Amino acid sequence: MMELIYPLSKMLKNRELSAVELCESYIKKIEAENKKLNAYTSYTFEKARKNAAFADSVLKTGKGGVLCGIPLALKDNICTQGDLTTCASRALESYRPCYSAAVWERLEGEGAVLLGKTNMDEFAMGSTGETGIYPPAKNPNDITRIAGGSSSGSAAAVSAGLSVYSLGSDTGGSVRQPAAMCGAVGLKPTYGAVSRYGLIAHASSLDTIGVIASSVRDAALVFDSISGRDLRDMTSCDVNYNTASALGKADVKNMTIGFSEQFINGAEKTVIDSVKAALSFFEKSGAEIIEIKMPDLEQLLAVYYIIACAEASSNLGRYDGIRYGHRASDCESAEELIIKSRSEGFGSEVKRRILLGTYVLSSGYYDEYYKKACAVREKLKEDFDSIFNTCNFVLTPTSPSVARPLGTEVTSPVENYLSDILTVPVNIAGLPAISLPVKGDGALPAGLQLIGKRFGESELMSAAYFFEQNCLLSLSGGEYSV
Amino acid sequence: MYKLVCGIETHIELSTKAKIFCSCKNGFSAEPNTQTCPVCTGQPGTLPVLNREAVLLAVKAGLAVNCKINSKTHLDRKNYFYPDLPKAYQISQFDEPLCRDGYITLASGKKIRIERIHIEEDAGKLIHENGYTYIDYNRCGVPLIEVVSKPDLETPEEAAEYAEKLRLIMKNAGVSDCKMQEGSMRCDVNVSVHKENEEWGTRTEIKNIGSISDIVKAVRLEMLRQEKLLESGERVVQSTMRYDSAHGRVYVTRIKENSDDYRYFPEPDTVAFEVPESVVEEIRNALPESPDERFERYTKKLALPENKVSLIYGYKNVCGFFDEAVSLGASAENTINLILSTVFAVLKTEEERERFSLKISAADFAELVKLADSKKIRINKAKEILPEMLKSGKPASEYLKEEDLTALSEDELLSLCKTAIDENPKAVDDIKCGKAKALNALLGYVMKASRGKADSSKASELILSLIKK
């Protein structure tokens, strides 16, 4: 994987290549290869060509930022006006929003080129890419394996060169984990750094729009562009980032990295090896590695699922077939219409989580489950904040294992949930984290996760960049060659 | 035999410019679904943004009924499925309402306690027509306050008085136009009955009461229904009732054996918010004179009779006009009389009296009143030309001739009385015989001759004393 945005932007600005030409080359590649990979679930080629023409007109005047004319893909839970935005669900199978998400508005204004919408787990619920209504996205490194989830298509597209970069959503690891599975860089920003306006909600207090790219610098450039306050999202924060300019300025000798054996407990051997090698690299480069005490990770997983399912059960209430989305036929009453439309519209994983969420919010159980989970969450935030008093970053594997085969039988859904154990605490605490692709098991990459302090993306990106540029384990950030 | 326990929950639409969570216009629209946007129709991916004006108006409402303001608070989601609720949850407040522990005082001096006032969003409107049900989302997202009284009301009349008082106070404070017929104020009345010294009975909730007077009717009907049930050995089942004004009855629409589980939890899309003490104080200091304060002022300081004051004190604009006229020197008594007798005869509807937009100014009005005050013209003359002034917008001087403006002198009055006596010997004889009514003929003569300028009581006195001589 190599750095793409700057080199391409330079070529566009030097008029070595036009945005239209660049766009057409990606379109050609998608048409040739997407059927094999299922990265995209719908194309927006007409819009892409319009975007590219606009970008060229801007570039001609000598203006245009670094993202002008650069093609991207968006996860299919990010609203783009007039385009299919389905969340890989029958409930929204034919839905075309009448408005665009804040992130797309911003990018479109900068001349970005939208190639299409990417595959995902239904309503972002899942970590294998298999719970949606479309054939699942395949791992470009080995097409018999999963691309991870829930932003499976976004990661597969970048990894297979079908998009320069993509946006996904990360509620419990859904940007970082697929990035790790596919060998791309996956950035989950601090909660509130990027506007959620137009992101179809899964769990409101956990959802974060993230960036999947082929290098740290690419991720930084996109993040700088999409972050910042949006008046339409009350949870968005007044931040102004320039993380790209912080790259190369990592002060490794004064860096302290927190680690715990807990993180590699039960992980696959290749993952453990990579993590240990990464730690050793940082140590040799002058950083101090300290042992930190993390709260019970399995308890955190329970906290996550209680809160996420509770919020999701409420957020998904609106899919009743009345104003938009799938509407059941031959119904005799409003109640029947609502029940049938939802029963027909949702897949089993979504139904499972709605039931769970409804249960933990119901009277008699609210205090024991939801309220308690929220209290533990507050405690975790405090614990993490104090950890960051003693170290700059926490280092973990992104996932305990590399990509498993598609269609693997799971004896219980909880088994699936356990694979999120390393990414979920980050969402609970609202912190930024980045997954960096490292050598894994043969063709299958693994992911190294660096967690930073709240709104500490600049520091985080520069540490990630240092690793990417200097560690032989790294699979990203190579030099672009035409 | 049976005692009533009654409490009222009132939903009041706030008069903000925009809806509570989006920038759609908050106002009446004839065309359905023309004042909507992705946010208030619950499109996927949209988020609520709290309208500051709504919060400030809600604080004002709380202060107007003596509530304590909960400075630091948050919103909660109330989850349930219904076609008029696009998100399948209503953003409201559950455990930390913005205001609590207020009260309204009734005419009897009894205080009806207000438990809480919280802010929330309104739902859409279902319209049943031709066998179909249509949904209009214009009203979705309109800011509401829910005012919950404690069950302190003990008679149907008290219930109506409380609702009317609440309406007056909120209207006066500029919180809402409080029009029950238009739905900007909706009362749900809770009713239960029990025998003296026994425990309180099960309560039912009556919805769809369209006017203040209907409250009395609805409560009476429900009391009767419950009493009948209890007398026949049956029990009252907790239910939602509907008042049917056309047929004069209340009937059960839904039995609520268990309370609904709305699965309340704090709204994650909005942040907890705070109304600083300084802002609360600012709002408190800017509160207009309350209807009660105005009633006090008019009856005590201006010494106007209660029955007359009660007819205007509820109309903010009328009183504003009244106050201005009086401040310009017009007598309170003549001003209120002219308003009640003449202006209100022209402005007949509630709407017109609320608006009270006249073609003449308070200064013009005061000028007319002062002429009557100084007896330059008779009050009846004023009553005669005022309607003309209201129609044309022209001042009094347009309608009064030079001679109308000069008062009748003592000598002139005396001479007129003498002439009346001379010209009506029969009437004089009748009076001497004790027929007091005959005085009217003589008076009539004097009034006619003086073109209405004579003071009738003075003239009567003079005539009688002249006859005695």
The string of pLDDT tens digits covering residues A351-375 is 999 999 999 999 999 999 999 999 9
Provide the pLDDT for residue B403.
61
Whether residue B263 and residue A366 make contact (CB cut-off 8 A), yes or no, is yes
Res. A418: pLDDT tops 80: no
Q: Which residues contact B156 (CB under 8 A, 6 or more apart)?
A: B4, B6, B215, B216, B217, B219, B220, B223
Q: Rounded to an integer, what distance in angstroms lies between the CA atom of residue B224 and that of residue A315? A: 44
* Token code pair at residue B280: 């609360």
pTM of the entire predicted model:
0.91
**Residue B93 forms contact with A (CB below 8 Å):** no
Residue of A87, A97, A361 lying closest to B43 (CB–CB): A97
Residues A155, A174 contacting (CB under 8 angstroms): no
User: Which string of b and e fits A207-230 if b means at least 16 CB within 10 Å?
Assistant: bbbbbbbbbbbbbbbbbbbbbbeb
Contact A318 B88 (CB under 8 A): yes
Q: Measured between alpha carbons, how far is A170 from A207 in angstroms, rounded to an integer?
A: 6
The CA distance from B112 to the nearest CA of chain A, in Å, is 31
Residues of B in contact with A345 (CB under 8 A): none
Q: Which residues of B touch A78 (CB under 8 A)?
A: 45
> pLDDT tens, A122-167?
999 999 999 999 999 999 999 999 999 999 999 999 999 999 999 9
The larger pLDDT score, comparing residue A430 to residue A266, is at A430
CB atoms within 10 A of CB A276: 12
pLDDT tier at A482 (50, 70, 90 boundaries)?
Answer: low
Size of interface A-B (CB pairs under 8 A): 99
CA distance B121 to B54: 10
Q: Which residues pair with A40 in a beta bridge?
A: A118
Put simply, the answer to whether B86 touches A318 (Cβ < 8 Å) is yes
Q: How far is A330 from chain B (nearest CA, A)?
A: 14
pLDDT of residue A298: 80
On chain B, the residues whose CB falls within 8 A of the CB of A233 are 47, 49, 269
- 134-153 in B: which are within 8 Å (CB) of A? 135
Q: Which residues pair with B132 in a beta bridge?
A: B129
Measured CA to CA, the distance from residue A301 to residue A426 in angstroms comes to 11
Model confidence pLDDT, tens digit, residues A190-228: 999 999 999 999 999 999 999 999 999 999 999 999 999
Give the pLDDT score at B444: 86
Q: Which of A197, A324, A358 is closest, CB to CB, to B47? A: A197
pLDDT of residue A480: 72
Specify the DSSP element, H or E, that contains B125.
strand B125-129
A235/B43 touch (CB, cutoff 8 Å), yes or no: no
Suggest the residue from A85, A199, A363, A371 to mutate for an interface test with chain B (most B CBs closer than 10 A): A363
- Among A96, A314, A365, which would you mutate to test the B interface (most chain B Cβ atoms within 10 Å of its Cβ)? A314
Residue B413 is predicted with a pLDDT of 86
Tell whether the model's pLDDT for residue B405 goes beyond 70. no
Helix (H), strand (E) at residue B458: helix B456-468
Question: DSSP state, B342?
Answer: I
pLDDT of residue A477 exceeding 90, the answer is: no
DSSP structure string for A125-152: --SSS-SSSSPPPEETTEEEEE--SSSH
Please state, for a pLDDT cut of 70, what percent of chain B lies above it. 99
Pairs from B305-308 (Cβ < 8 Å, separation ≥ 24): B308/B336, B308/B337, B308/B340
Cβ-defined contact of A318 to B42 (cutoff 8 Å): yes
Chain A residues with CB under 8 Å of B46 CB are: 99, 197-198
Cα torsion for A97, A100, A104, A108, to the nearest 10°? 110
Measured between CA atoms, the residue of chain B closest to residue A232 is B49
- The pLDDT value recorded for residue A196 is 98
Do B45 and A366 count as a contact with CB atoms less than 8 A apart? no
Q: A463: which 2 tokens?
A: 């540490």
Structure-token pair, residue B382: 């004023």
Q: Report the residue from B79, B133, B135 with minimal CB separation from A314.
A: B79
What is the DSSP-derived secondary structure letter of residue A177? H
Question: Which of B43, B264, B265 minimises the CB distance to A98?
Answer: B43
Nearest to A230 by CA among A221, A239, A242, A222: A239
CA distance A458 to B469: 112
Strands (E), B343-440: none
pLDDT of residue A125: 97
Which of A232, A338, A361 lies nearest to residue B47, judging by beta carbons? A232
Question: pLDDT per residue over B332-388, tens digit each?
Answer: 999 999 999 999 999 999 889 989 999 999 999 999 999 888 878 888 888 988 999
Contacts by residues B457-466 (CB-CB < 8 Å, ≥ 24 positions apart): B458/B413, B459/B413, B459/B416, B459/B417, B462/B413, B462/B414, B462/B417, B463/B417, B463/B420, B463/B421, B463/B439, B464/B431, B464/B439, B466/B417, B466/B418, B466/B421
| Structure tokens that stand for A172 in this block | 């419990």
- Give the lowest-confidence range in A34-43, B261-270, B388-397: B388-397
| Chain A residues with beta carbon closer than 8 angstroms to that of B79 | 314, 317, 361
* Cross-chain Cβ contact A201/B44 below 8 Å: yes
Q: Per-residue confidence at A391, pLDDT binned at 50, 70, 90?
A: very high
Cβ neighbors of B395 (< 8 A, separation 6 or more) are: B360, B364, B367, B368, B389
Two structure tokens written together for A1: 């994987």
What confidence tier does B454 reach under pLDDT thresholds 50, 70, 90?
A: confident
The pairing of beta strand A256-259 with beta strand A288-291: parallel
Q: Residues of A near B (CB-CB distance < 8 A)?
A: 77-79, 85, 87, 92, 95, 97-99, 101, 196-201, 204-205, 231-235, 310-311, 314, 317-320, 322-324, 334-335, 338, 358, 361-363, 366, 370
Cite the active site residues of A. 75, 150, 174
d(CA A290, CA A391): 8
Average pLDDT over residues A44-64: 97
Instruction: Specify the long-range contacts of residues B121-124, CB closer than 8 Å, at least 24 apart.
Output: B121/B19, B121/B20, B121/B21, B121/B90, B121/B91, B121/B92, B122/B11, B122/B13, B123/B82, B123/B84, B123/B85, B123/B90, B124/B83, B124/B84, B124/B85, B124/B86
Backbone angles phi, psi at B385, to 5 degrees: -90, -15
Looking at chain A, the whole-number percentage of residues with pLDDT higher than 70 is: 99
Min Cα distance A77 → chain B (Å) is 8
CA proximity to B304, closest of B323, B324, B332: B332
Evaluate whether A190 touches A454 at the Cβ level (below 8 Å).
Answer: yes
Q: Do A97 and B89 touch (CB under 8 A)?
A: no
The upper half-sphere exposure of residue B214, i.e. CA atoms within 13 Å in the direction of its Cβ, equals 21
Residue A53 token pair: 């023409």
Contact B73, B98 (CB under 8 A): yes
Contacts B86 to A, Cβ<8 Å: 318, 323
Query: Is residue B407 very low, low, confident or very high in pLDDT (cuts 50, 70, 90)?
Result: low
Question: How much is the average pLDDT of B231-247?
Answer: 93
Mark yes or no for CB contact B265/A79 under 8 Å: no
- Contacts A320 to B, Cβ<8 Å: 81, 83, 88
Q: Pick from B38, B87, B261: which is nearest to A362 by CB?
A: B261
Q: With an 8 Å Cβ cutoff, are A363 and B265 in contact?
A: no
Sign of CA pseudo-dihedral B283, B288, B290, B296 = positive
Predicted pLDDT at B429: 86
For residue B48, which residues of chain A lie inside 8 Å, CB to CB? 234
**CB proximity B46 to A under 8 Å:** yes
Using an 8 Å CB-CB cutoff, list chain B residues near A366.
263-265
Torsional sign, CA B53, B58, B63, B67: negative
Which residues of chain B are within 8 Å of residue A317 when distances are taken between CB atoms? 79, 81, 87-89
For A73-84, how does the pLDDT look when each residue is reduced to its tens digit (9 = 90+)? Answer: 999 999 999 999
> Residue range B94-116: average pLDDT?
97
Q: Which residues of B71-93 are buried (b: 16+ CB within 10 A; e: fewer)?
A: eebbbbbbbeebbbbbbbbbbbb
Contact B86 A101 (CB under 8 A): no
Instruction: Pick B271 or B60 by higher pLDDT.
Output: B60
How far apart, in whole angstroms, are the C-alpha atoms of residue A93 and residue A80? Answer: 15
Here the tokens at position A422 are: 């390393």
- Written as one string, the DSSP assignment of B59-80 is HHHHHHTTPEE-SEE--EEEE-
Cβ contact, residue pair A79, B44, below 8 Å: yes
Q: Which amino acid is at B310?
A: S
CB contact under 8 A, B265 and A370: yes
Confidence of residue A481 (pLDDT cuts 50, 70, 90): low
Q: For position B415, what pLDDT does the model report?
A: 87
Q: What is the mean pLDDT of chain B?
A: 92
Structure tokens at B379: 């009050």
The pLDDT value recorded for residue A182 is 98
Residues from chain B that touch A338, judged by Cβ atoms under 8 A, are: 81, 83
Summarize the confidence of residues B219-227 as an average pLDDT. Answer: 96
| Cα→Cα distances B248→A234, A312, B211, Å | 48, 45, 13
Q: Which of A98, A120, A318, A350 to mutate to test the interface with B (most CBs of B within 10 A)?
A: A318
pLDDT score at B305: 95
Contact predicate B452/B378, CB 8 Å = yes
Q: Which of A94, A320, A356, A358 to mutate to test the interface with B (most CBs of B within 10 A)?
A: A320
CA–CA distance from B295 to each of B302, B315, B365 (Å)? 10, 11, 22
Contact A203, A307 (CB under 8 A): yes
Which two structure tokens, joined as six digits, stand for B190? 């809770």
Which residue from A98, A204, A311 is facing B38, i.e. has the nearest CB? Answer: A98
Mean predicted confidence (pLDDT) in B80-96: 97
Q: Does B263 contact A at CB distance below 8 Å? A: yes
- If one counts every other C-beta atom within 10 angstroms of the C-beta of residue B126, the result is 13
Choose among A85, A205, A232: nearest Cβ to B268.
A205
CB atoms within 10 A of CB B419: 14
Interface contact B77, partner A, CB < 8 A:
yes
Gap from A235 CA to chain B (nearest CA, Å): 6
Supply the pLDDT for residue A1.
83
Give pLDDT, residue A320.
97
Contact at CB, A317 and B79, closer than 8 angstroms: yes
- DSSP helix/strand/coil, B445: helix
Q: In terms of Cα–Cα distance, which of B145, B126, B168, B159 is closest to B33?
A: B126
Strand partners, B244: B249
- Residue A345 Cα distances to A93, A96, A186, angstroms: 9, 16, 30
Chain B hits for A202, Cβ within 8 Å: none
Integer CA distances (angstroms), B255 to A70, A334, A436, B237, B247, in order: 61, 19, 59, 7, 22
At residue B404, does pLDDT exceed 70? no
